Amino acid sequence: MTPRRKRIYLVLGVVAGVGIAAALALQAFRSNVMFYFDPTQVTAGEVTKGERFRLGGMVEVGSVKRQPGSLEVQFLVTDFKHQVPVRYTGVLPDLFKENSGVVAHGRLDADGTFVADEVLAKHDENYMPPEVTRSLKKGESRLGQGT
Amino acid sequence: MLPEIGQFAMILALLLAATQAFFGIAGAWKGNSRWMSAVYPAVAGQFVMLALAFGCLVWSFVHNDFSVRMVAGHSNTALPIYFRVAATWGNHEGSLLFWVFVLSTWTVAVAALSGSLPRAFCGRVLGVLGILSFGFLLFSLATSNPFARLQPAPADGIDLNPVLQDFGLTIHPPMLYVGYVGCSVAFAFACAAMLEGKLDQTWARWTRPWTTVAWMFLTVGVALGSWWAYYELGWGGWWAWDPVENSILMPWLLCTALIHSLAVTDKRGLFKSWTLLLAIMTFSFCLLATFMVRSGVLVSVHSFASDPARGVFILAFLALVIGGALTLYVWRAPLLRSQAGFDLTSRESFLLFNNILLVIATAVVFGGTLGPFIADSLGLGTLSIGAPYFNPTFLLPMLPLMALVSIGVFSRWKRGGLGDSRRRVLGSLLLAVVIGLALIVGVYGDRSLLGPIGVVLGVWIVIASLVDPLDRLRRGLSLSPAILGMTLAHIGLGVLTVGVTTMETRMLERDVALRPGEQVQLGAYTFTFEGVRDVEGPNYSAKQATVAVAHQGKPLATMLPERRNYWVQQTSLAEAALGVGWRRDLLVTMGEDLGNGAWSLRVQVRPLMRYVWLGAALMAFGGLLSTIDRRYRRRVESTEAQTTSQPQQGQPA
């Protein structure tokens, strides 16, 4: 092999490798993306059945209920226009509180309850995840147009 | 009074940074040695001013001067004094001042230790560092003045965020910042080389120790951050592919690529323009990380500050620095051609593949981190991606990289074909397969695909890295710190791989609801919940659970997880109890009171967790060791001739 040809093979190999890696990464990216919906969108039926998604909003005051002594907990997530009931079994995060922002990962079951497998209460210093802030603002402006 | 002195010192430092930048670069360009001499007092003066400013800030924190807005917002009289000191950099404004202070310290070190460098080159390096310092100081003074006053002063402060009240976090940001800023030295060396239009092996030899030290601090910084998340955030997460974690990982990956590419430039005078590009990219990602963490773009536990105006300023600064450096690169890099050729299976090739794979890994992380923001800004919906994307795509380049490390350490400069080492490669692989499988299948009973592959690759790296140094010892040759450092760092990588793989594939975790007296079985461990009592800390009150742990029926330990309620911010925070050991870590975290006397608890058994930190520590120590090698301290006049002459096997890479 001449050095020139060797270099061509090397470059071809690298290009092929990078190409395959990029294709696989893109595939993984597309199949693992989770979209975000607020309660209004969920109520409007914008979510495809059985799709895993992120639900965000505020934990409605007085809605957190649990069977005494059990890990199962139920609460309502609201954007102050619509609510979605959420069911979760497990330890809730430190910052989970009524009337503060929450983001849950999971699916809708047949009767419209959101079954969460992960509940996040990460937020900034104002106790609000940014997506939730945005969808609450959006709700306000929609409300403003309506009235 | 002191805060005003601090602010005045910052303004003086800004002016000195401008002086340093101008006289450094213009002096070298004009060849004016009087101008170049003016750089050194500017460097020293700037350091003194910034030390004074930083000292004033620390003083304000320690003495609870709540008329300073930052102190009022991030401290409290009930806060223990060491956390008050740490609170100085536990917020946006203070951490920026700290950033510049670290930069100035690095600059002083460069100025002091570069006596053997040509004056013009040194002037350019210090000039570029001056530009960076100027930019950050301007940013700090214009958008986030740490000494801003609050009128009237409140009686007490709002307190430091409770998750930051921890030893890990008092040293994690400093380490990371020293690492980030350290990369600016490599960046400045690269810019200086491009301005000069000349880059030889001597340049690579000057740059290498600086880059390796920066890399060492980055390694420690990443590991400390992960360690902190592991035990302080309480839920056992050590790596969540959180955007902020990713933003630290990217410069680390690129810096790793850079130190390897620099090795080739140093030893063989190859990859010149690639090394320059990597140096630019590494520092760019350090800046990007600062931007991402500090602009509030990201949703994560780390974004304690969010202000769009700051974001715009950093973005502009970022565009200016990266854009400027890349323009310089496009203009100057064609001058720096590499001449020599090399074989397809030579050490150069292996290091090239190492670089390609590390860059691919960075790109994968970059795509996953910024993809959601790009999709969001294009109006494609708010989406997120997590571990299901990152895990497979990150492993894709990393697994071949692991294998290449083990083969690559046997390769020789310039010549291909591994030569006599072929048998050693196979032998070490065979041994690794036997030991690796015995460990993961025999001890842990793992029959998945990834577990055995990861462990075998990790063990292989350890064995392969040991062969050459042991061989040298047997033949009575001495081991230079450079070789020893490289070996240690590679072994660290192997240990880390074994630890991560075993822990991730074999960990046990359960959320349980327990009443006093009830127990839960996890593998060979029995956790018995004995009850809850009230305890009090300096600035919090807590419920403390007593959990007795038994291993195969024999009592092992009593673990005391807490749920703390911090008075000032009224935040409830879980403080996990850890039972660490060489074979496994046990973790118990308290959830909440479920009523009927029951509490929710999360119990975890994480095998070989400690080896993750041990691996990182070995890597960092290896890096440190390799920088004390004598060859970096040798005074070099004309080295082009003496370094190309003997490319031989087993030289440190």
- Complex ipTM > 0.85: no
Res. B305 pLDDT band, cuts 50 70 90? very low
Mutate to test the interface with A, among B594, B599, B603 (most CBs of A within 10 A): B594
pLDDT digits (tens, 9 = 90+) for B347-388: 888 999 899 999 999 999 998 888 877 777 777 767 777 788
pLDDT digits (tens, 9 = 90+) for B425-483: 888 899 999 888 888 887 877 777 888 899 999 999 999 999 989 988 999 888 889 99
pLDDT at residue number B559? 93
Largest CA distance in chain A: 78
B226: its two tokens: 């992960």
CA neighbor of B86 nearest in space, from B167, B175, B176, B2: B167
Looking at beta carbons, which residues of chain A come within 8 Å of B304? 124-125
**Rounded-to-integer distance, Cα B52 and Cα B190, Å:** 31
- A15 touching B (Cβ < 8 Å): no
B17 neighbors B141 (Cβ within 8 angstroms): no
Q: Is A36–B384 a contact, with Cβ atoms under 8 angstroms apart?
A: yes
Quote the minimal CA–CA distance from A1 to chain B in Å: 11
Percent of chain A with pLDDT over 90: 12
pLDDT at residue number B451? 85
**Rounded-to-integer distance, Cα B264 and Cα B247, Å:** 27
CA distances from A13 to A16, B273, B275, B277, B353 (A): 5, 21, 21, 22, 11
The helix/strand/coil state of B542 is strand
Mutate to test the interface with B, among A10, A15, A32 (most CBs of B within 10 A): A32
Looking at beta carbons, which residues of chain A come within 8 Å of B404? none
Which has more pLDDT, B333 or B337?
B333
- A69 touching B (Cβ < 8 Å): yes
pLDDT at residue number B300? 40
Q: What mean pLDDT is predicted for residues B51-75?
A: 92
Which of A18, A35, A91 comes nearest B511 by C-beta?
A91
Q: Is A32–B385 a contact, with Cβ atoms under 8 angstroms apart?
A: yes
**Rounded-to-integer distance, Cα B317 and Cα B284, Å:** 11
pLDDT digits (tens, 9 = 90+) for A101-119: 888 889 998 888 999 988 8
Quote the minimal CA–CA distance from B511 to chain A in Å: 6
**Rounded-to-integer distance, Cα B127 and Cα B27, Å:** 9
Which of A6, A71, A129 comes nearest B600 by C-beta?
A71
**Rounded-to-integer distance, Cα B641 and Cα B653, Å:** 19
Mutate to test the interface with B, among A29, A102, A118 (most CBs of B within 10 A): A29
pLDDT beyond 90 at B332 = no
Res. B236 pLDDT band, cuts 50 70 90? low
Res. B649 pLDDT band, cuts 50 70 90? very low
Contacts of B523 (CB under 8 A, 6+ apart): B508, B605
Mean pLDDT, chain A, whole residue set: 79
pLDDT beyond 60 at B190 = yes
Q: What mean pLDDT is predicted for residues B219-230?
A: 90
Looking at beta carbons, which residues of chain B come within 8 Å of A32? 385-386, 388-389
Q: Is B396–A124 a contact, with Cβ atoms under 8 angstroms apart?
A: no
Q: What mean pLDDT is predicted for residues B222-230?
A: 88
Domain boundaries, chain A: 1-33, 36-146
- A91 touching B (Cβ < 8 Å): yes
Which of A3, A68, A90 comes nearest B595 by C-beta?
A68
- For chain B, give me the number of helices (H) and strands (E)? 20, 11
Quote the minimal CA–CA distance from A132 to chain B in Å: 11
DSSP letter at B235 equals S
pLDDT at residue number B308? 61
pLDDT at residue number B647? 40
A92: its two tokens: 């809730």
Task: Map tokens 């310089």 to a residue.
Answer: B328
Q: What mean pLDDT is predicted for residues B573-597?
A: 87
Contacts of B118 (CB under 8 A, 6+ apart): none
Q: Is B299–A21 a contact, with Cβ atoms under 8 angstroms apart?
A: no
CA neighbor of B191 nearest in space, from B100, B130, B254: B130
Looking at beta carbons, which residues of chain A come within 8 Å of B371? 29
As assigned by CATH, the class of the A36-146 domain is: mainly beta
Quote the minimal CA–CA distance from A73 to chain B in Å: 10
B488 neighbors B621 (Cβ within 8 angstroms): yes
Interchain CB contacts (distance < 8 Å): A and B: 114
Specify the pairing of strand A34-37 against strand A53-59.
Answer: parallel
The β-bridge partners of A105 are A54, A118
CA distances from A139 to A34, A114, A142, A145, B262 (A): 22, 21, 5, 10, 54
The helix/strand/coil state of B265 is helix
- A131 touching B (Cβ < 8 Å): yes
Burial track B107-138 (b if 16+ CB lie within 10 A, e otherwise): bbebbeebeebeebbbbbbbbbbbbbbbbbbe
**Rounded-to-integer distance, Cα B109 and Cα B107, Å:** 5
CA distances from B139 to B14, B40, B175, B341 (A): 10, 24, 22, 46
Kindly list the structural domains of chain B, giving each domain's residue range(s) and its CATH number in brackets, ordered by start.
1-160 (no CATH), 161-337+347-383 (no CATH), 397-506+613-620 (no CATH), 508-609 (2.60.98)
- A117 touching B (Cβ < 8 Å): no
Looking at beta carbons, which residues of chain A come within 8 Å of B568? none
Looking at beta carbons, which residues of chain A come within 8 Å of B306? 124-125
